[in-house]
Amino acid sequence: MSTESNEPREPREPDTTPADGAAAPETDAPEPGTTGSPAASTAPTASTAGDPPATGAERTDSPLTKARMSKGDKIDRLAQLTARRETSSGDSLWVAAFRRLRSSKMAIIGAVIIGVFVVLAIIGPWIAPYSPTAQSWRGEVFSNRGIFVGPRAENWLGLDNLGRDELSRLLVGARQTLLVGIVATLIGFVVGALIGGVSGAALALGGRVGQRIDAVVMRFIDMMLALPSLLLAVSIAAVMGQSLTTVMIAVGVVQIPIFARLLRGSMLAQANADYVLAARSLGVKRRRIVLAHVLPNSLGPVIVQTTLVLATAIIEAAALSFLGLGNLDAAQPEWGVMLAQSQRFFDQAPMLAVYPALGIIITALGFTLLGEAMREALDPKLRS
């Protein structure tokens, strides 16, 4: 063993690493560069560890390694050959995060829920057994006398207070609910990120003037944050009148300050990072520093927030509808409105409230699960 100096160690290096290489394959290939002196490492690295598959072939041919290859080494090599993704280029952080996401149970459950929800929202009107608005069984339901029709063969989830098929209404309503969630979140995200991004960029790299801009913008955002979100939403909805658009805007506006603060804070943290200083010392222009370095590295938390906000937006939109500020157009059923309208009959037909409520809860849960999983996947502490 003592005769083994630097020379034989060199090829061995990749052999030993794959033991944990299965878990973190990206760490093993570049390793040889560190071994040996800088002058010596250039040549061996290029030849031995040049390309992962080539390495394997070369190493088997080498008599030195063959003789030394114990059972453990063979197992290691097998693990290496099977486990290694044979790419010559590495993984970006996004790719790595996606891979972590894929192996998270939470993410998968969340994604499945969201997937089902989205599919329903798209094909809902086509698979709905009956028209969601036609009061086809009007003669069977007498809400003033407390006579309701529960689940039965032709109406799986029963009828609502006007004798409409509940299942059809739920299926068609999914689209509206999803639309409210997405549009509201988009409003919050786009406007919030714009404000936060400008503010953060100004503060981080704009000098004294930038600091002033940031201070003014952020005090404004603080004022928005100081108002209770539901109160703010109700006021907006009250000013704009009852409609689905109102609900979307009201819910979206409430999210603006959250997104703005989050992105600004995240950008600020990145602006003080060493690599930004390094970019400045390289002579990179400010605009490029903000766009290519600060912004992409600040987006992680904001993207996570987006999924979480999707959940709350659906719930808040339901709350606004429940308060009577939502869409009153009966032709377009929406879960929040359905929930609101069923409250009058809650003691006689509780299930009419439970179905849309369950739909909202499960969908929100799906988005929350995915958001949490994304937060974990993007967490810098988990970076290998």
Partner 1 sequence: MSLLELSDVKVHFPVRKGILFDRVVGHVQAVDGISLSVEAGQTYGLVGESGCGKTTLGRAILRLVDITDGEVVFDGTDLAQLPEEEMRRSRRRLQMVFQDPLGSLNPRQNIESILAEGMDAHGIGDTREERRERILKVLDRVGLPDHALGRYPHEFSGGQRQRIGIARALVLEPDVIICDEPVSALDVSIQAQVINLLEELQEQLGLTYVVIAHDLAVVRHISDVIGVMYLGSLVEEAPSDDLYASPRHPYTKALMSAVPVPDPEVEDTRERILLTGDLPSPSNPPAGCRFHTRCPWRQPTRCDTERPGLTDIGGGHKVACHFVNEIASGELAPTSALAPDMLGDSESPVDDPGGDSAGDSGEGEDAASGPASGAPGSGGKAAGTNA
- In the complex, the residues that contact partner 1 under the rule CB under 8 A are 26-27, 29-34, 37-39, 41-42, 45-46, 49-51, 88-94, 215-216, 219, 273-275, 277-285, 288, 292-293, 296-297, 380, 383-384
Long-range contacts of 71-77 (CB under 8 A, 24+ apart): 73/15, 76/15, 76/16, 76/18, 76/19, 77/15, 77/18
Contacts of 163 (CB under 8 A, 6+ apart): 135, 136, 137, 138, 139, 140, 141, 149
State the minimum distance, in angstroms, from the CB of residue 293 to partner 1.
Answer: 5
State the minimum distance, in angstroms, from the CB of residue 54 to partner 1.
Answer: 10
CA 120/CA 235 separation, integer angstroms: 32
State the minimum distance, in angstroms, from the CB of residue 164 to partner 1.
Answer: 52
Nearer to partner 1, 93 or 116 (CB): 93
Of 271, 263, 353, 259, the residue nearest 312 (C-alpha) = 259
Tokens at residue 238, please? Answer: 């009250």
Location of structure tokens 């600060």? 294
State the minimum distance, in angstroms, from the CB of residue 93 to partner 1.
Answer: 5
CA 42/CA 35 separation, integer angstroms: 10
Q: DSSP letters of 44-65?
A: HHHHHSSSHHHHHHHHHH-HHH
State the minimum distance, in angstroms, from the CB of residue 60 to partner 1.
Answer: 20
Sign for the pseudo-dihedral over CA of 235, 240, 245, 249: negative
State the minimum distance, in angstroms, from the CB of residue 292 to partner 1.
Answer: 8
Q: DSSP letters of 136-201?
A: TTGGG-BGGGTB-----SSSTT-B-TTS-BHHHHHHHHHHHHHHHHHHHHHHHHHHHHHHHHHHHH
State the minimum distance, in angstroms, from the CB of residue 377 to partner 1.
Answer: 14
State the minimum distance, in angstroms, from the CB of residue 45 to partner 1.
Answer: 4
Q: What are phi and psi of 241, to 5 degrees?
A: 90, 165
Location of structure tokens 């938390």? 301
Tally of CA atoms within 13 A in the half-sphere of 340 that contains its CB: 20
Contacts of 133 (CB under 8 A, 6+ apart): 164, 330, 331, 333
Nearer to partner 1, 26 or 372 (CB): 26
Instruction: Give the alpha-carbon dihedral of 73, 76, 77, 82, to 10 degrees.
Output: 160
State the minimum distance, in angstroms, from the CB of residue 318 to partner 1.
Answer: 37
